[in-house]
């Protein structure tokens, strides 16, 4: 999880390259503003959240197919919102819980991800197709069904959540492709295999190997065969992930952009502990700190933050100490400890807070400034 922050967020690398917080935020806002109907709402959100979406939309826009899917998905969402804000919010809310569970499955899969480069070809094919099948079946499919539900209402067709949920992936891909105005939009090039058939190949393990080739079979009545080199199968996985990212990013940006309209029905969902811990690490990264150790127990939560900037250690250490409250928020531990280490490693500050003091702030008994008077500091 700790290493994952570097993979999924550019913040640490940006600080290490010498960019200031203001420059980083300015670049992120410049990238995101054209994607929003209401760019002023960007000021509401933290740089940790916006940085991730900035990277996502940049990758989507670099690929013609993914960019087209993103635009068409966003067009459908905005069309229903303009027709009936209440209905749009209600439909979106019906999928919140399922999307929350789907994202938890996604993060669970990432937690166990490992380098496949040295695996024998049969193990490589099995592992990569297992990832492909898990992504499509466990996560991507839910986003597609939500978008299809929105598309039906945008075309004035009243369809229930249960009717959409009962559809097979093949039916969802076919109907959504028609509504997006392109019957082949979910057929990946250059392999010309539809998204649902990649799921079938993966789920049914319809694979074999011939020397350096991975042989995939799909279709019931008319069976098709496609042969791929190792790198080609990785290219398939990357293409599927990019299409998934286009749909998911359109969902996220739409919700951020139109939160005021959607909040009438959409209440969010409870995130898993691991998701919240990852977000804590990304939040620290947004301020130029890399979390290199994170230990959580009921009686104590401990995080070690290493500075990736060259700024003066003392004020940076005080800044890092404020994360004791964020750490308590996600753990509710009896005590919380933040250990700050300067970039050189020569200066350290440890901040310790009691859970009961953090609770007073959380429940509104005290303001946030109260924390400075009760936190114990030790500087070396």
Highest mean pLDDT among 17-21, 177-181, 278-282: 177-181
Peptide bond into 190 cis (omega under 30): yes
Look up tokens 């076919």; give the residue. Answer: 174
CA neighbor of 174 nearest in space, from 185, 162, 158: 185
Q: What is the domain partition of the chain in residue ranges?
A: 4-183+238-262, 287-379
Which tens digits make up the pLDDT trace of 54-80? 888 999 999 999 999 999 999 999 999
pLDDT at 27 over 70: yes
pLDDT for the residue numbered 110: 74
Q: Are 95 and 146 in contact (CB under 8 A)?
A: yes
Token pair in block for residue 43: 């000021």
Comparison of pLDDT for 105 and 173, the residue scoring more: 173
Helix (H, G, I), strand (E, B) or coil at 344: coil
Which tens digits make up the pLDDT trace of 252-278? 999 999 999 999 898 876 566 666 888
Look up tokens 């509504």; give the residue. Answer: 179
CA distance 186 to 194: 6
Q: Which pairing describes strands 213-218 and 193-194: parallel, antiparallel, or unpaired?
A: unpaired
- Collect all residues with Cβ–Cβ distance below 8 Å to 18 and sequence separation of at least 6: none
DSSP secondary structure code for residue 3 in this structure = T
CA distance to 232, 247, 378, per residue, from 262 (Å): 41, 18, 46
Mean pLDDT of 204-217: 93
What is the percentage of the chain residues whose pLDDT exceeds 90? Answer: 74
Mean pLDDT score of the chain: 92
Token pair in block for residue 150: 């929105």
CA distance 13 to 127: 30
CA neighbor of 308 nearest in space, from 25, 23, 19, 15: 15
Which tens digits make up the pLDDT trace of 118-141? 899 999 999 999 999 999 999 999
pLDDT at 105 over 90: no
pLDDT at 4 over 80: no
CA distance 320 to 377: 12
Token pair in block for residue 95: 């999928």
Q: Which pairing describes strands 213-218 and 300-307: parallel, antiparallel, or unpaired?
A: unpaired
Helix (H, G, I), strand (E, B) or coil at 138: helix
pLDDT for the residue numbered 2: 59
- φ and ψ at 36, to 5 degrees? -110, 140
CA distance 321 to 339: 8
CA distance 53 to 9: 9
Comparison of pLDDT for 367 and 1, the residue scoring more: 367
Residue 17 pLDDT class (50, 70, 90 cuts) = confident
CA distance to 97, 264, 265, 271, per residue, from 268 (Å): 8, 11, 9, 9
What's the pTM?
0.82
Q: Strand 213-218's sheet: what is its strand order? A: 207-210, 213-218, 224-228
**CB burial of residue 84 (10 Å; 0-12, 13-18, 19+):** middle
Angle at 154 (CA atoms; ends 151, 160), nearest 5 degrees: 65
CA distance 206 to 226: 11
Angle at 122 (CA atoms; ends 119, 125), nearest 5 degrees: 85
Angle at 77 (CA atoms; ends 74, 82), nearest 5 degrees: 120
pLDDT at 238 over 80: yes
Q: Are 355 and 374 in contact (CB under 8 A)?
A: no
């Amino acid at each position: 999880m700790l290493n994952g922050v570097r993979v999924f967020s550019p913040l640490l690398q940006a600080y290490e390259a010498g960019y200031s917080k203001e420059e980083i935020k300015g670049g992120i806002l410049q990238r995101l503003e054209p994607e929003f109907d209401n760019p002023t709402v960007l000021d509401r959100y933290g740089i940790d959240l916006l940085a991730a979406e900035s990277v996502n939309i940049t990758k989507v826009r670099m690929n013609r197919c993914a960019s087209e899917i993103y635009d068409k998905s966003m067009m459908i969402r905005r069309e229903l919102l303009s027709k009936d804000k209440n209905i749009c919010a209600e439909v979106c809310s019906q999928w919140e819980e399922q999307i929350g569970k789907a994202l938890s499955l996604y993060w669970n899969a990432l937690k166990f991800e490992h380098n496949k480069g040295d695996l024998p070809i049969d193990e490589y094919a099995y592992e990569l197709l297992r990832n492909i099948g898990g992504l499509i079946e466990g996560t991507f499919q839910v986003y597609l069904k939500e978008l299809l539900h929105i598309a039906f209402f945008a075309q004035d067709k009243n369809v229930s959540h249960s009717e959409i949920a009962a559809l097979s992936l093949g039916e969802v891909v076919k109907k959504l492709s028609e509504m997006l105005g392109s019957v082949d939009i979910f057929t990946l090039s250059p392999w010309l295999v539809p998204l649902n058939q990649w799921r079938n190949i993966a789920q049914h393990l319809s694979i074999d190997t011939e020397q350096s080739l991975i042989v995939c079979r799909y279709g019931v009545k008319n069976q098709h065969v496609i042969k791929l080199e190792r790198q080609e199968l990785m290219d398939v996985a990357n293409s599927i992930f990019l299409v998934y990212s286009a749909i998911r990013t359109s969902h996220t940006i739409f919700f951020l952009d139109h939160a005021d309209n959607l909040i009438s029905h959409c209440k969010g969902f409870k995130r898993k502990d691991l998701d919240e811990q990852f977000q804590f690490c990304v939040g620290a990264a947004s301020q130029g700190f890399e979390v290199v150790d994170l230990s959580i127990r009921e009686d104590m939560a401990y995080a070690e933050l290493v500075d990736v900037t060259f700024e003066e250690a003392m004020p940076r250490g005080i800044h890092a100490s404020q994360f004791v409250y964020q750490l308590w928020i996600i753990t509710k531990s009896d005590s919380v400890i933040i250990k700050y280490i300067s970039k050189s490693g020569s200066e350290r500050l440890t901040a310790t807070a009691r859970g009961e003091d953090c609770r007073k702030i959380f429940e509104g008994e005290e303001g946030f400034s109260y924390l400075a008077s009760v936190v114990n500091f030790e500087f070396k």
